Structure 1
């Protein structure tokens, strides 16, 4: 390459009519600066050293030739030499610069995320890993109300969506047989009480007769046989009184049973919450709880919406990274622009064979006020040693408009 430039320079000198000794000396000096082609070597030199050496030599040659041209022929010859050198060496300079940038990028990638510490050493920082999943909003505290006994609905005191408290009347039923049974039990209880009073009187008389007989027998005015008969009569009266007392207790149990059945015709709220489903209607005849085996035979459903969680499925491959207390965020399909914080509270003890997932129960922190059970949710958990206290990239749940708003 440099020989071509020198040859052009020599030809330019030869074309001139005036050739001085000074010109020949300058040509000899330029020829001495030319680089002879190196012998072919099977082992190529290091590309980095070669690329660094060639630009330096070329800069020296260009500077020398430029000075000579300016001294002899003025600025016009200098422009010609620079143009000729640029034609041959411009591409090499560009390739060399691009190669240096590529090597710098390769070296940075080979570092594997290492960052300098305060003392200048290199340390490897573990990048956080994101795990995503999907699931639904769940209300763990849910109660399904059934009628304990058969009856006919005469009043429905609530509507779907109403907030109720534990013990509040929900539905009233009517069953004439239950009320008759209660009345009969109460009458039987009264009769048993009267019988007990009679037996207690007989017992008191038998005891007085025994005391009198014992006094006479002590004076030899009464035979021993009469004394024994008085004792037997007193014992018999006492046993009869005990039996009458048991009958009274049994009658009281029957009364309590009949009263409980009548009271069960008034269905009350077992827990506080919201009426999420109502199937009871006035005039319907409902079956007892033992006969109501299907969910649609219930009266209503109460859900405690103040204590909701998310049950979400994540890939089975992430089970080793899961632990209670792991934090992240979730977003509901119904409120896509309102992500909120979540935390893993429980991990299912089994894996879903069909889906190849594990179910996580997540506690919620400041969810949207309009959240309802069975809403679809997507979750994002951040795991890894570097995740604690680190600045994470924008959430995948955030919309571009939201990110732009935050940036503004």
Structure 2
């Protein structure tokens, strides 16, 4: 093909009257460089990641371009093309299939080239390890409030969501039987007190009679038998007074018992916290604590929301890396953009056979306002050099497995 092109060019040279001596010399040189078709051997191309630009092909392109320049634009254009091709062969042709260590204009590394920065990142990641897991917000202190005695609800002093303090009145009940029992105990107590007074008077009289008899017996004015009888009367009076005193004490206990039952009809908060469930309604009759066997028979539930923690599961394979005091960060599904610091406080003594995980109890530092029990949480613990980073300033990014997915073993 190259020879045909040169022959056509020669024919054009002979038909043109304006052909110069320089042009004829150039045509003769190009004709001497012609290559026979038999010299080319067709072989199937070998697969390569990139092909090198061969000097023969570049020379062919240069010759063709030179011929076109001579025919249409003259020797000046030919000189410019030769200069450009010389620069191309000395610069771009030096780039081979081997990767060049360079940086793009936007600062990213050329594909396949490992930069010193990437080497540093890989070495840093090799010295640390992140452990992820999922769990829920838990309130360790929860009080389910029942009525100690049976009664009818006459007042409900709180509503769901109210904050209460220990000892605050929650529900008031009424029981006529308890009130009557208290009145009866109080009456019995007064009777016992009167009986004690009478026995005390009898004891004083018996002791006075014994003293008189004893003086008379000393003068031989009273027989020994009379003295013995006076002594026996004193002993009987003392026993009667002691019995009356015990009756008074028993009556007081009955009064305290009846009063405690009546006072227990006013249900008070056992702990400080928030009313998270309220089942009490005015007019309802509730059972005593001994008869209430189900939680839904309770009056209400109080949760201490000031001491919330997270119980999270991590893969059993990470148990050797777990220890109390290990720090990390957590994020709630309800507040995805507000990560906060956590620290391992307890490690469960058993492994979940079904899930292949171990449960960690995590204390919280500056959790988001509005956090509530049973909120879903995702955690990330850092083991290694990065574990020493200030836990109060966790990283802004957070990636963890979706909640509910079993941790990989």
Q: Would the aligned equivalents of 1:155 and 1:171 in 2 still touch at CA under 8 Å? A: yes
In 1, the alpha carbon distance for the partners of 2:180 and 2:117 equals 91
CA deviation string 1:360-407 (max 9, x = no partner): 111111111111111111111111134323998752259xxxxxxxxx
Q: How does 1:83-94 map to 2 (within 5 A)?
A: 94=96
1:287-326 matches, cutoff 5 A: 287-326=287-326
Whole-Å separation in 1 of the counterparts to 2:309 and 2:233? 73
**Aligned residue number for residue 338 of structure 1:** 338
What is the RMSD of the two structures over their aligned residues, measured on CA atoms?
A: 3.4
Paired position in structure 2 for 1:189: 189
Tell me, yes or no, if the aligned pair for 1:331 and 1:397 is still in contact at 8 Å.
no
Residues of 2 paired with 1:160 and 1:392: CA distance?
35
Residues 287/347 of structure 1: CA separation in 2 closer, same or farther (3 Å cut): same
What SS does the aligned partner of 2:96 have?
A: helix
Contact 2:341–2:394 (CA<8 Å) still a contact in 1?
Answer: no
- In structure 1, what is the equivalent of residue 226 of structure 2? 226
- The answer for the alignment partner of 2:363 in structure 1 is 363
Name the SS for the 1:270 alignment partner: coil
2: CA distance between counterparts of 1:103 and 1:294?
Answer: 67
Structure 2, unmatched stretches of 5+, are 1-24, 30-54, 56-77, 103-109, 401-409
Q: How has the CA–CA distance of structure 1 residues 102 and 154 changed in structure 2, closer, same or farther, with 3 Å as cutoff?
A: closer
CA distance in 2, matches of 1:329, 1:127: 19
- State the distance in 2 between where 1:225 and 1:260 align: 53
- Pairing 1:374-389 to 2, within 5 Å after superposition: 374-389=374-389
1:147 corresponds to which residue? 147
Q: Distance in 2 between matches of 1:108 and 1:367?
A: 35
Deviates more, 1:258-267 or 1:311-320: 311-320
Query: How far apart, CA to CA, are the structure 2 residues paired with 1:97 and 1:149?
Result: 86
Where in structure 1 are there 5+ consecutive unaligned residues?
A: 1-11, 17-57, 59-74, 115-123, 399-408
TM-score by length of 1: 0.70
Measured against aligned partners, the alpha-carbon deviations of 1:76-97 in whole angstroms (never above 9, x if no partner) come to 7x959x87x959x987851355
Question: Per-residue displacement from partner, 1:90-111 (whole Å, max 9, x unpaired)?
Answer: 8785135569999985999999
Against the structure 1 CA distance between its residues 306 and 393, is the aligned structure 2 distance closer, same or farther, given a 3 Å change threshold?
closer
Residue matched to 2:14: none
Moved over 4 A (4+): 89-93, 96-114, 390-394
Distance in 2 of aligned mates of 1:268 and 1:320: 46
Change (3 A) 1:152 1:240: same
TM-score (norm 2): 0.70
Separation of aligned partners in 1, 2:357 and 2:316? 5
Deviates most, 351-360 or 389-398: 389-398
2:306 aligned counterpart, secondary structure: coil
Which residue in the other structure is 2:398 paired with?
396
Higher mean alpha-carbon deviation, 155-164 vs 380-389, is at 380-389
Distance 1:208 1:368, change over 3 A: same
**1:347 and 2:373 matched:** no
Alpha-carbon contact 2:328-2:379 (below 8 Å) kept: yes
Is the 2:340–2:394 Cα contact (8 Å) retained in structure 1?
Answer: no
Residue-pair matches, total = 319
CA gap 1:325/1:150 in 2 versus in 1, 3 angstroms: same
Is the CA contact 2:135–2:378 (under 8 Å) kept in the aligned structure 1? Answer: yes
Q: Is the 8 A contact 1:126 1:386 kept in 2?
A: no
